[in-house]
Amino acid sequence: MNRFYITTPIYYVNDVPHIGHAYTTIACDVLARWYRLNDQDVFFLTGTDEHGTKIAQAAAAHNKEPQEYCDHISALFQESWKQLDISNDGFIRTTTKDHETAVQAFLKQLWEKGVIFKASYSGKYCVQCERFYTDDELIGGVCPDHRIKPEEQSEDNYFFRLSHFREDLLAAITQEDHPQHFKIFPQERRNEVIGKLKQEINDVSISRATLDWGIPLPWDRSQTTYVWIDALTNYLSAIGYPNNKEKLDHWWPANLHLMAKDILWFHAVIWPALLMATGLPLPKKIFAHGFFTVNGQKMSKSMGNVVRPAELIQEYGVDGTRYLLLSAFPFGQDGDFTKDLMKTGYNAALANDLGNLISRALTMVEKYCNAQSPAGEKSDLFNQVIDDLKPIGKSLDHLAFHTALSTLLIAVDRVNRFIETKAPWKMAKTVPQEVPTVLYEVVVSLKAIVFYLWPFMPGTAQTIWMQLGETKDLVTTAKKFLESPSLALFNNQQPIQKGTPLFPRK
C-alpha cells in the first residue's frame, strides 16, 4: 500500500476560522478521502499556529493569557473541522511540548551544520504577515497584503543562510532527475518562484530578540524562534520528529503541502532549503491555490466581511458548503464568492440536478417496485456512467476539484436524461413488467455516482446509499468498486427509504 502524507497550512489563532481556511481544509479532505478509497495509507494533517507577535497581541486584546487564548481558538478550529466533516488524522498545535522539542532539535541541527549566523538587522516588519519587507516589496510604503505600514524594527537576530541554497533549490525544482526534485503547482506559481530564484535572495531571520511568546533558541535562550520557522517544523513534529524514527521514516517526505499562494515562498523556498540544510528529504509536491475575495473584497476583520463556515452551513448545509466552495472556480485561480453565485450554484447543481434525481428515483421505486430496490443483471447505463465518472481520478490527481465536480454532474445528467427518455410513468401504463428493469439501471448507476460523491459530500453520499436500500458499509464497497466495478457488489430487493429532500431549493 502506498502512503500519502498531505497537509494544510497550520492556521493562526489570532482569529476564528473563516471560509478561507475552510477552503484549503476541505480540498485536502477530499483528496485524503479519495486516496483512502483508492487504497492508500493516508495521513492528513492540519492544525494551529500559535506563537508570534500577532497571537500575543490578539491574546492581550482579549485580556487573556496567550496560552488560554490559544486553547480557546484552537478548539474552535477543531470544532469547525468536525462540523465540516473533515477527516484529518492529526491536529498539530505549536504550543505543545512535543512540538517545542521538535523545533529545538531542528534548530540545533541547523546550528551544528553552520548555516546560522548572527547579525544586527533593521527592517520593516509587518506583524500581520509576521515577516520583514524590503522597500521595493512595499507598495506606497505599505504591506501589499494588509495595506498597513510595517513597523521599523532593529535588533540582533540569528539568520539562516538561505542565499547559499539558491542554486541547489533551482536545480531541485527544475531538474526532473535531480535527487531532491520536487514539484510546484500550478505552472504560473512555479514560474514565479523560479523567476525569483534566478535573482539574488535574502537570508532569513530565524529568531526574535524582543518577543516572549515563542520557543527559545536552544543555544541562546534570550531569543525566541521566528514564528515561521516554528510553524514549518509542524510538518515534521506531527509525524514523530525527532524521536520516533520509525514513524518519521514512514511518513516523511510529505506527498503534498497544500496552501494558498500567499505563503508559497515559505513552503517552496524557505522550507525546502531548511530541509536541505539538515539533510532531510524534501516534500514531493507543493500546490498553491488561488486567493478568493467575498463580494469583490478581501475578507478582513477590520472590513467586517469575514464569512464563518457556520454561516454557510446554516444556509446550505455541510455538504452544500463543501460543494459550493470547491465548485465555484478552478482551484489554482483567484475568484470571488458572492451570495448570488452560491445560491445559483446550489439550486442548479444540488437542488435541481442531484437532489431532484434522487427524489425522482426513490419516488418511482416506491411506486412501481413496491419500495424495494429492483433486481436486475445488466445495465448499459451503469457502464456509461462508470465511463463518465472515471476521469474524476485524474482530475483529483491534478487538484482540479472544479472539473471533477462538473464531471460528476455529467453522470448525474446522463441518469436524468435516461429517465426522461424511458419515461417509466408511461411504461407503467403500457409495459408495466419492464419498469423494474429500467429502475434497476437507475438505482445501480446512482450507487456508482455515490462512490465518487463521497469524498466531496460524505454525509450526502451516505444518506443516498442508505436510501437506495444498501446496508453494506459504503467505504468498503466503494474500495472494492474502484478496484473493479461490478454489479455484484450491490444489494437488490432491499427496502428503500424515502426521506426528506436532500437539498431544498433556496
Residues binding ligand MSP (CB under 6 A): 9-12, 20-21, 23-24, 49, 231-232, 234, 259-260, 262-263, 291-292, 299
Q: For this structure, is 70 an active site residue? A: no
- Residue whose CB is less far from ligand MSP, 4 or 12: 12
Burial pattern 126-141, b for ≥16 Cβ within 10 A else e, equals bbbbbbbbeeeeeeee
Radius of gyration of the chain (CA): 26
Q: For this structure, is 18 an active site residue? A: yes
Burial pattern 384-416, b for ≥16 Cβ within 10 A else e, equals bbbebbeebeebbeebbbbbbbebbbebbebbb
Sign, Cα dihedral of 245, 247, 248, 250:
positive
Cα–Cα distances in angstroms (integers) from residue 496 to residues 202, 295, 469, in the given order: 64, 42, 4
Cell numbers 443483471: residue = 377
H or E element: which one contains 120? strand 116-126
Q: For this structure, is 390 an active site residue? A: no
Q: For this structure, is 21 an active site residue? A: yes
CA 248 – CA 225 distance, rounded (Å)? 23
Burial pattern 84-98, b for ≥16 Cβ within 10 A else e, equals bbbebeebbbbbeeb
For residue 250, the number of C-alpha atoms closer than 13 Å in the C-beta half-sphere is: 12
The least CB distance from residue 13 to ligand MSP, in Å, is 8
Q: For this structure, is 126 an active site residue? A: yes
Residue from 298, 301, 354 nearest 324 by CA: 354
Q: For this structure, is 28 an active site residue? A: no
CA 78 – CA 82 distance, rounded (Å)? 6
Q: Give the helix, strand, coil percentages of the chain, each rounded to 5.
A: 50, 15, 30
Q: For this structure, is 129 an active site residue? A: yes
Catalytic residue among 301, 378, 426, 506, which?
301
Q: For this structure, is 298 an active site residue? A: yes
Catalytic residue among 28, 70, 143, 369, which?
143
Beta bridge partners of 91: 46
Residue from 174, 147, 131 nearest 266 by CA: 131
Helix (H, G, I), strand (E, B) or coil at 15: coil
Catalytic residue among 28, 70, 129, 369, which?
129
- Amino acid, res. 187: Q
- Residue whose CB is less far from ligand MSP, 266 or 382: 266
What residue number has its CB nearest to ligand MSP? 20
| Residues belonging to the active site | 18, 21, 126, 129, 143, 146, 298, 301
